[in-house]
Each structure stands twice: as C-alpha cells, then as structure tokens.
Structure 1
C-alpha cells in the first residue's frame, strides 16, 4: 500500500513543509479488524423451552437449527434468568441481570439499583466492544432493553440500540408485538410495515430480509470487514401468529395431549444422549390438568393451540434457514461464530386455559373457554393475540418442571447451540459444561483474542462477570469454569454451586400447593424468614438432573451453605431488596422526561406515544377534545390508543362522531352521535365520568359514563361498565390522526387516517375540571332522541 498510515492519536509521521512539494502526507489509519476475524451471530429465540426444538427431542420440525447442532455443538447445561429482558441484558453485557438493573422487564422497574430497568453505561454491550475493533454491528428484532419511559420520539436515544453500539437497527423496542401489525422502529425512527397481512406480511420474514440486507450492504463494499449480528425473533413469544398452511402441517399430532408429548420427548432426549443415563422425568405438575380429565372441546382447542405454536416454530426455523443460506452462499458461514439461545423457558402466560388475547393476562382478566372456542378457527391469524395453555409450556420444558418466570430448571435451562466450522473441529457433539447467558460475551472475546475494554466512550467499565467456555469447544471433558450462579425472579430464588442446586420457590412449588395464584401473595420480612427457614429445596443436580429428589432434610449442612452463598451473591450483584411480584407493578409511577401534567396535546402525523408515556386515562375521569375544520366527506381517526387486543378510538365515520372502547378484545362499547358533524371549525369531545372503583383482582378497571359532545351539545351517551385496569396495550401506542397498526375497532380498517378537512390538535385532559353538567345535558340529549 502506497499510503502511509498512522494510529489515530499518535504523532503525525509525515513531513510538513512550506508547500506540498516539500511535504510528505500520512493518514490516520481506519479502524480495521484483525485479518480473518470471524463474524459473530447471536440468534435469540423467545419463550422456547428445552424440549421444543427438533434437535432437543421435539417432534416439531426445526431442520435449520438441527443442522447447526449437527455441524457444531449442542449444550444441555446452559442457563438463563427465566425472563426475557434480564436474560438479554446478560447476553449482551456479560454481567448478571441485577448488575444491569434488570431484575425484571423494564415495564415493572422499581427504584432500586438492581431493579430500575436502566443498564448502566459502565456495563458495556458486546456491540460497543466489537465496534471498537473494526466490526459492523447490527441489531434486528426484539430489543426490550430501554426503560419503557424512554422509548418515545422524545428519547433520550442513548439506550436505544444505536446508542449502545449498534450501527443499524430494525425491529421493535418492547417485549412483544403483533406479528402482522408490528410496532416497528428503523434505526431511531418508527416505520410502518412494508406490506399488509392481506399482502402476505409476517414479521419474521421481514426481520430476516432486513438482516440479510444489512450484511449484504456492507459486504459488497468491505468484504473483509466482519460483522456482529444480534438477531432476535418475536417468535415464539405470544402472539402465536403463523399462516394456516404452517399450523395445518401439525393437525392431529398433539391430540394425545401434553402428558404424551412429555413422554415422547423424554424418551427421545435419552436416545440422543441429551440427558445423562438414569435421568428421571419430573413429576406431573399440580397446576396442570390431566389431559384425560378435559372435555372433548377443551382437548380440541388446546391441541389446536399447540398446532399453531408448532407451525409458528417451524415457520421461524424456515426463515432462519434463509438467513443461514445467505451467509453460506456468500462464503461467510464457515467463519461465523453462531450462538443460538432462548431467553427463558416456555411461557405459562397463556394461563390454565390458553388465551386468544394475552392482554388479559397482564390485566388480570379471566379467560373465557367459550370465547376461546369461538376463536379457534382463526388462531394464528391477525384477529387474535393468542397463547397456548400452560400445560404446553410445562411440556415444552421437558424433562424439567415448571416454566418461565420461575427458577426451577424449566424456567432457566434452555436450548443452546454453537456453530463455527472454522473454529470448532467437533461436529454434532453434546456439551454438558455448566454455562450461563453471562458467559457468552467473555467466550466471544476469548475466541476473537480481544480483552474486555477498560473504558468505552470515556466511561470506566465494570468487570465482566461471566467466564469463557471456549475450552469446551475442543474438549468434551473440559472442566466447567462457571462454579457458582445465583437466580432470582419475582422472589423465586435459586443458587447453583459445583453440582448442587438449592431452590426456594415463591409462593410455592406450584400455585396449587401454595394455594396462592401468581401475584396474589405478599412478600414480607416475615414471609422471607419463614421461607429461609422452611422453604428451600436441595438437589444434587450432578446426579439428579431434573430436580426430582429433594435432599434438603438429609443434607442440611449443604443446604445452609448454599442459602448463605445465595445471600453473598445477592449482596454482590444488587439483588436486594426482594419486591413482591404483582401485575400492579405495571402501573407504578416512574420518572418521566417531563413534569407530571394533567393536559396532553397531540397533533396529527406525529410518532406514536408508547404506553408508558401516553396520557394515562385508566381509572380516571378524563376528556378527549379534538379541534377540527371539517370539509365535505371528512372521516377518520382523531385519536386512538391500542389495537385489536384492547384500547379506545375517537373517530368520524359516515358524518357521525364515534367513540369505541374495546375491552380486552371481548366487547366494544360504542357511542355514535345522534347528529352529523357540521362543516367548518368544530370542537368534538368525549368525556368519561367515573361511576365506580376499579376491581383489580377481578381484572376490571373503573366503570364510567361515556358522553360525546359536538360544539358543547351532548349528542350521545352510554355506560362503559368494564375498562382495562392496568394496561391499554401490549405495544400499540397512542396515535393522532390515524390508527397505526391493528384496528382498535371493527368499525373501520386501519390506518383510517383522517381526511376531508384539517385536524388541528387533540387534547387529553385528566384533571376532571372540564366536564359538562350532566343534569343540563340530559334534557338536551333527550330532545334529540
């Protein structure tokens, strides 16, 4: 190379004369990776259990992931935190979830260092580390690592993907999203999906297209520049959305039920050597109905829900195959270090009976078997936000017990595959070294010959808390380097140390045995003392892989040792205080970018306001007032929040003013004006007057009287007896002038953007000071009947 280069920040090595004829140029050297540095690809599946991939013994077809396992290594002793955001923070930082402030998901953060949902900048991301070594860095898919109050257009953007070392981003910032109407962000701005469901849109295909494009864009210009791609599907998290052609491939295959599934998968796992010889299948879970005890309707419904899940997983594997083939065809796969992991065990958030609307779970609203049966023909399509019953989650975590959100191995032991043809000689072998998600970052750094940086962008870095398992790549008998690992999720605690595992379940080993459903029990100091005295179980998992033989009574000294170790780890990693798990955590007050206010002003053509920063109208008297200048044929949404799973919408249709309150997808409460909206400037208003108190245990928000006004005249009113108590939406925020994703109401098709006039602004007032006098208005509305 004829150019003379020098490291940036060092002395200029050229010559400076009075003219360029007497001078010699030199250039600051571009940042380049080491020659031959491998690409790094993390594939993070969501809510996928130990017994759900084909290569882990499942009857669900996952040929592309199976091929990775056959050409690489399958780990049977990888662990996560039992929940999504906490695990993802471990995957990207190499630090424990409480060290990252991620005790839970960001939407339930509380004001303690280990629980505030704010990953400190001293805990650098792998993307930040590799960007400093000449890598392109891409994030595609689910993020869920930004404080929920910081995901709006107001930012700050420092904790969005582009603020944490990723150069490109395409995906969704929250915990889940509709697979047909996703809440998408491209780099730092929201975008709409490129197609509609009717045109064949599905999020997984879109994400893979973007990932392929990001890599190809750079490789055509700099083919030797390596990349780090963090690829996170929305699958297999609810909603279980997949075209019928995929779910129908599994018709009849789950009619035997979850007990039969477990037995089949368990036998296959033993045959494949995934489980040590002599492993026992964990007990039938007390919370799960015996399949034979179910009615034929229930069996038919639950089997269909599992068919949809299976089709969803195979569909996801198919599109992951497209990503892998693109790397193979371009010659990149050979030198790409691929790690595939699930963020936690299979999810029980569908509840006992399954759900056609997961928002019900987060609002504590009971499911209806009749409603679920009526929806069965549409499961997997865009009309529902469906999830299978927790019997399938239990089965999906075969051979372990329990599920996501709990620290038994069913929640924390997850599929993990490593594939790197150029760096790993072994093919199709199983590894049993103890690993945790915090070990992925140090292993990648070890493979690349890179030290964790002492500082990133001027911020001194904390020590990486995981350890490398690179030694296991070539040596199946290499000793486990990860000796101790604590667990805590929703006060459910566990600790592993050198082949022993102690577990302290809360509220108990099952809800049935505890006689307390999730979120009902209070975690007090007295309860903690009782649990520490009598609530811990002990398993010698080196010999009892599936936690079937509690030896706490026989090995009392070992149990006391492990309980003490748990408290040492808890002190080291900011685990305390333990906080009572409750759905009410979703509605806690948290720091906002602007001071608390009672008046929110929204204008058309602006970005959606996410749930946590939108006007909070739940369980409050409030008004929604739109200033419009109406022309002939004016129609469309003035303001809406939510989607088909629940929400509200104020809109004009057929010259009438309408308001719809969609209660968790079950029922629409619809107000329609008795008169036309007049031409010219008008004030259009909806008012909600509380008439009662919320009943959170029953899953109902405060009832009220809804009324519509046009230029001060009452034109419609009705009771709205049921409202959402805790959450309006799972991802679809508040929008002005259109319905951004799925439609709140069946009265129109999205986006139903306002047209035929000018929408100036919409004001949401929660002060209660701007209500009309109902006595005066009663005579007005009666005169119009």
Structure 2
C-alpha cells in the first residue's frame, strides 16, 4: 500500500566524526550545507551512539539496542555469542524492511558493515547484504577502512570492476543523485527511504588538494588552542550548556608547546588534511541536498545527519602516513611522515592524525571512539523535517537525552506508521527506542527516556535519570577490578567531576542495574578482545582448495588465502605471450602492502611490497619457447620474516633471503587474477590493467592449516584457451 502523504526519509551517517567537527557544533571547519540543514531544523546536544560503527548502524536501522539485535561489536569481530553474532537478527526488522512494506522505495548508498565478512564472496550468501535486508538498490562497500581514492566497490549483489572515477565521497554522491533521479522518473507519488553512509571521515584521511590548500597554516596554533577555541564557540552556540568545564587533556596527549618544530609542522598538516576531508564531505552532501531541492523533494523529506561514534584515537601519539601498516604490522617511525609530507592526503597515503586532534574533535568530552565516556558516545545529530518543526524553532538546540535507537521510532511516528509485530512472517521483538518527536515542537518538554546502557570492549556505562555511571576498562585486566566513576550529567555535561565518592550507594545501585540490563540484552559474557576475534574467524574460512579465473571477479581481502607465516608457492604455467606492457598475472593487496606477479616484453617480474618504502623485486628473462613455468616459493625464516625464491622454467632466477612479512588480515586490497585493482602492489602494473591473453585460471591449495609447519601451497596455471 502507498500513502501519498508519507514523508520521504534520508539518513546520512558520517564515520568517526567528532562531536565538535561540524561548524554548527563549534568547529572552524567549513560545513555550510550541513549547517543549512541545522538552520532549518534542530540540533541535539545530548544525542548518544554506541562508540563503534557496526553497533551504531544496527541500532540506528532497527530502533533497538545493538546487543539485542546481535551486533554488540563490529561485524569482523563476531563471536558465537548471541549479542555478538555479527548479523542483525530477523526478529529485529530494519527500517528499510518496515518502510518497503509500507510502499516506500528503498535505497542504500555507501558503507554496509552489518554482516560477517565471510559472506563477502562473489556468490554470497546474500541474505544479509542490503538487498536481503529491505533495500531495493545498493551501491557501496563492505567492511570498514575504505581507500577513498581507490575503493573496492559493489553494486547490488556483485563486485564493481571498473574504476570508481574520483574520490569515494564524490562517487557515492553521484550514485545517490542517480538513484534519486531514477526514483523521480519512476514516479514521485511513491515515497523513498535512502540510507547514505559515507566512508568519510574514517581513516585513511584523504582529500582533494584544493580542499587541503584552504586550511594551510590554520592549525599551526596546535590542538590545545583549537580545542579551547571550539569550546568557547560551543558555549556561544548553546551546543554546550553554560557552566560546563573543559576537562584536562586525555592521558597520553602531549601539550602542543612540548612538541618539536618538525612535529608541529607534520601534525598541523595532518589536521589540514582532516579538515579538508570534512569540508569536502559536506560539499558532496550539499550536491545531494541541492538535487532534492531541484526535483522538488526537499520540503517533503525528513533528513537525519549523525556520526556513528566519536573521533578515532587509532593514530596514536604521532599519527601515521600508512595507517594499515601502523595498526597491523608495527608502529610507524616519525621519519616516514617527514619524508612523505607532501603526499599526505593523496592516493599514495593511508593516513591518520595523532590522537591530540581526536581530542580536539571531541571537544569538550573525554576519551574517544571505542570508549563509553562522552568522547566515544556523544555525537552530533541534526534533524531537518519541514512542516513537522515549527518555523520559530528552526535552528534551535534540544537538550533532552536521546540515543541512536530512538531514531526509528521517531521516523515511524512522524510518518504515521505503526511498528509491526510481525514482518515477513517473523514475530518481531519490541522496538526499545523512545520516539524523540515529543521535543520537536517543545524545547522544554520533559525527558521521556529514563535509562540507557552502554558496553564496548569491556567499557560499561549506564545513564539513568540524568546520572551516568561509567568505567573505562583496560584490556586484559580483571573486569571485577575496574574502577567506576559517577557523573551528574544534568550539571556536568563534560563528565569532569567524578562524584562516586559522594554517592556510593547510588553508584552501587546503578552498577547492579547495568548488570540486570546486560543479562536481558545479551551483553554478557564481557569480551575485551579486538583483532583476535577476527583472526579466529579468518582461520575458520581457510579452504584447502580455491580456484581463481581471469574471467571472474576479485576475491575480497578477507577471503585471500591466509598464507601469513606459512610455507607456500605460487606456480603459473603460460604460453609464450609477450605483452607490450606489464600485464598482471596475480596481485594480492595494494600499494600499501602486498605482492604481484606480472609478465611483460622483458620477461616476468615478482614484486613484494612491505610498504611503499620497502619494495623488493625478482626478475626473470624469457627465452623463446612454446610455454613457460613460473614458480614463486616462500619459506618462513623467523618471527615475522620470510624468504622468497623465483624459478622460471626450472631455473632459479632470484632469491630474497629475509624480508619482513605482512599478515593477510591487514591487507588494504583483495586478490585479482589476470587483472589489477585501483591500488596495485606494483611499480609497473597500471591500475585496472587487464591481461590481454585469453582467460586463464589459478588454483590455490592449502596443504597444512597450521602456521609455521608445512604451510600452504599456492599454485596457478596459465594457458591459452
């Protein structure tokens, strides 16, 4: 059924954007398009999320708490426990499924991080891809940490092989506009729901140079001064209540004045790139908003803009030029950043700013993404709902406490839709969020939410009637030894004054309440592991035999055979084909780490990239013959190191005795057979190159699944068809 009076709905989800990063939330960064929405709508100062992306998105799309729908942690780190299964339970219908049942056309553009990576194969299963969860169309990417200049993308249920054609945010805006245009062409009498989830501003921090240039010199004053400036502006805007104190710096954040001149120069540039990234994102969203205006749909569209969690501290004290290596392999030495200063933000970088800038992004809140203190869970939230918010209230700020689970019940109430008790024949669990619609017309309306729990990687918190009990867990410590703090948020917005010693009985009661809720919501057992969970799931996906075809699509990075630390070989047999350029036989990874085998007019080439500064090559010349056999053998030689031997037609042509190894789990790109992606682990293979010879196949056999033993064997064959 279709109701012509139902409003259109657009969710815009930004990634890792701090509470203070938008201009309308106190930032010096220019975000005129989002600001315009705020001027014509409402901003919330007390809106909260879950501290990581997948859980927030699951809660946003279901109107329920993340653990109760099975997404208590990011999808990659799923476990066997119900609250952490890595996919949203069918008894918790997504708003896309509800609205499609009500006659809406549904579209998703961008990040989909709501299913186990084991499902990201060319043949599915597709049950939990967007088209399996209520969306008619999808264009975007799976997982997290997309390369903004060279993303690996999907359309509906298949991989996209052609070049993306620009910065990822531009590409996503183009697709959103195209889908909206198609919607209008098909008939504007049908309402739409669009879920637009950018990769921005998650690291890698990458932005067009023209945007970076706009901020040159702006951050020479440092993160302490920017934090102070933002705080003062937040007080002026009413985003932060009068009487709020600015907390001391987070532990581990150095004062700007204590840094060397070279550190200041590098770190200021990193923030210039980040600011450019934010402004560029706003500009692309502005194109989508302008299109809605041009086709006459903006005034009938509810627009929600939010961030999925607080700003990320994952760059550590010094930030990173190659965040993939920095987080997965080893800490990056400072000289890498100085040597590559001019490349920061470009396609050659995979950068992340130092955590001093993340602290400024979260002004005036403590801690960061992954923490359940304010810096991890307090997020900007803008609601633009023409005709549903009085003109006299446009541009105002609401102070009532809300949570991301409250968005769906709000939209359903504004659209006049009842939450179904049964969806597609499956009985639905009740929506646990509380509609925010009551405060749209009345800024002084009493708070309707009474309590909200939080948990992330062992951090726990409970907000209840204005009080917040919270503990920041240290990984590996006994959970029972964690120290709890207590804040009166009604009078202490920034969680600066711990009152646990003055209200011990209240704190004990709130701790007990948290435990009761945790048992009800499938939060337990507590688990503070991160990548270890992912390693276990990757090990489960190792198959003894895999075949790749040049006529097939890429293999996602989470499905590249796990040869990390193993003995293996890659064998290729091919006819005497000599292309006039470096043609890819097999590539694994990207310019930020990986390997490549290619054939060209001068012979065959093996390239191994530990990172962009550490590249090794082995070359073999071709003699005239009907066919050739190429074999690359790898042998572990010590902790984190291995040796390679390249053999051509039975003769050894080169040896690398010992090189540092990258783990497969840390790759930034997938595996390609007979073609290359946009970011290539090679100095000679062009992006999106295709081997012009007839199709061939590569067979991958894992002979021993125990690391360090007989290892795995990677074999391939190339022949004219």
1:73 touches 1:431 (CA, 8 Å); kept in 2? yes
Q: Would you say the 8 A contact 1:100–1:119 is kept in 2?
A: yes
Q: How far is the alpha carbon of 1:756 from its aligned partner?
A: 4.2
Q: Find 1:258's aligned residue among 207, 223, 226.
A: 223
| 8 Å Cα contact 1:603/1:761 also seen in 2 | yes
1:711 — aligned with what?
649
Match of 1:761 among 678, 694, 698: 698
Superposition deviation, residue 671 in structure 1: 2.0
Aligned partners of 1:629 and 1:757 also within 8 Å: no
- Provide the rounded CA distance (Å) in 2 between the counterparts of 1:543 and 1:484: 17
Paired residues, number: 706
C-alpha distance in 2 between matches for 1:265 and 1:193 = 42
C-alpha contact (below 8 Å) 1:348/1:404 kept by paired residues = yes
Query: Structure 1 residue 95: deviation in Å?
Result: 1.4
Equivalent residues of 1:137, 1:228 under 8 A apart: yes
1:659 to 562, 584, 606: 606
1:149 aligned residue (107, 114, 118): 118
1:221 paired residue among 186, 200, 212: 186
1:299-335 alpha-carbon deviations (Å, 9 max, x no partner): 0000001011111111111111111111112211111
Is the Cα–Cα contact under 8 Å of residues 606 and 618 in structure 2 kept in the other structure?
yes
Show the counterpart of 1:467: 434
Look up the match of 2:716: none
Return the match for 1:599 from 540, 545, 561: 545
- Structure 1 residue 678, shift from structure 2 partner: 5.1
1:310-709 mapped onto 2 (5 Å cutoff)? 310-425=275-390, 426-507=393-474, 521-523=475-477, 527-531=478-482, 535-589=483-537, 596-633=542-579, 635-673=582-620, 675-676=621-622, 679-693=625-639, 702-709=640-647
1:68 is the counterpart of 2:37: yes
Kept in 2, the 8 Å contact 1:638–1:759? The answer is: no
SS at match of 1:606: coil
Flag the 1:369–1:158 CA change in 2: closer, same or farther, 3 A: same
Structure 1's 589 and 204: CA in aligned 2 closer, same or farther, altered over 3 A? Answer: closer
Shift of 1:364: 4.5
- Unpaired runs of 5+ residues, structure 1, are 1-30, 508-520, 694-701, 773-785
Is the 2:369–2:375 contact (alpha carbons within 8 Å) kept by the matching residues of 1? yes
SS at match of 1:716: strand
Q: Matched residues in 1 for 2:586 and 2:232: separation?
A: 55
Q: Deviations over 1:733-783 (max 9, x none)?
A: 1111112120112233222322346534343545376999xxxxxxxxxxx
1:97 aligns with 2:66: yes
1:628–1:138 CA distance, 2 compared to 1 (3 A): same
Q: Secondary structure at the match of 1:690?
A: strand
| 1:663 match: secondary structure | strand
Retained in 2: the 8 A contact 1:626–1:763?
Answer: no
Q: CA–CA distance in 1 between the matches of 2:573 and 2:114? A: 37
Question: What is the deviation of 1:488?
Answer: 1.0
- Compared CA separation, residues 150 and 260, structure 1 to 2 (3 A): same
* Cα root mean square deviation, aligned: 1.8
Once the two structures are TM-superposed, the CA of residue 97 in structure 1 deviates from its matched residue by 1.3
Cα 1:463–1:771 change in 2 (3 A) is closer
Distance 1:760 1:79 in 2: 50
Q: Distance in 1 between matches of 2:701 and 2:43?
A: 54
SS at match of 1:220: helix
Change (3 A) 1:626 1:763: farther
How far the C-alpha of 1:433 sits from its partner, in A, is 0.9
Cα offset, 1:724, TM superposition: 1.8
Structure 1 residues 415 and 679: alpha-carbon distance in aligned structure 2, compared to 1, 3 A threshold: farther
CA distance in 2, matches of 1:498, 1:348: 30
Confirm or deny: 8 A CA contact 2:320 2:353 kept in the other structure: yes
Give the conservation status (yes or no) of the 8 Å contact 1:638–1:652. Answer: yes
1:487, distance to aligned residue in structure 2 (A): 0.9
In structure 2, the partner of 1:56 is: 25
Distance 2:476 2:214 in 1: 45
CA separation in 2, counterparts of 1:771 and 1:50?
47
Which sits farther off after the overlay, 85-94 or 710-719? Answer: 710-719
The superposition leaves residues 89-119 of structure 1 with CA deviations (integer Å, 9 ceiling, x where unpaired) of 1111111111222222111212211112121
Judge conservation of contact 1:182–1:193 (CA < 8 Å) in 2.
Answer: no
CA contact (8 A) 1:75 1:432 kept: yes
| Deviation for aligned residue 1:132 | 0.2
The alignment partner of 1:302 has SS state of helix
Q: Distance in 1 between matches of 2:162 and 2:396?
A: 40
Q: Secondary structure at the match of 1:564?
A: helix
Q: In terms of Rg, which structure is larger?
A: 1
**3-state DSSP class of the match of 2:80?**
coil
Verify the 8 A CA contact 2:103 2:191 in the aligned structure 1.
yes
Judged with a 3 Å threshold, the aligned counterparts in structure 2 of structure 1 residues 720 and 601 are, in CA distance, closer, same or farther, namely: farther
C-alpha deviations, 1:365-409, integer Å up to 9, x for none?
111211111111011111111111111001100000111111110
Q: 1:268, 1:355 → 2: CA distance?
A: 30
- Cα distance in 1 for residues equivalent to 2:605 and 2:539: 34
Aligned to 1:44: 13
SS of alignment partner, residue 717 of structure 1: strand
Distance 1:575 1:672, change over 3 A: same
Counterpart position of 2:717: none
Structure 2 SS opposite 1:213 = helix
Match of 2:198 among 212, 233, 245: 233
Match of 1:111 in 2: 80
Determine if contact 2:550/2:695 at 8 Å carries over to the other structure.
no
> 1:23-45: per-residue Cα shift (whole Å, max 9, x none)?
xxxxxxxx32x121100000001
Q: Which piece of structure 1 moves more, 717-726 or 264-273? A: 717-726
- Mark the runs of 5 or more structure 2 residues left unpaired by the alignment: 714-721
Correspondence for 1:127 = 96
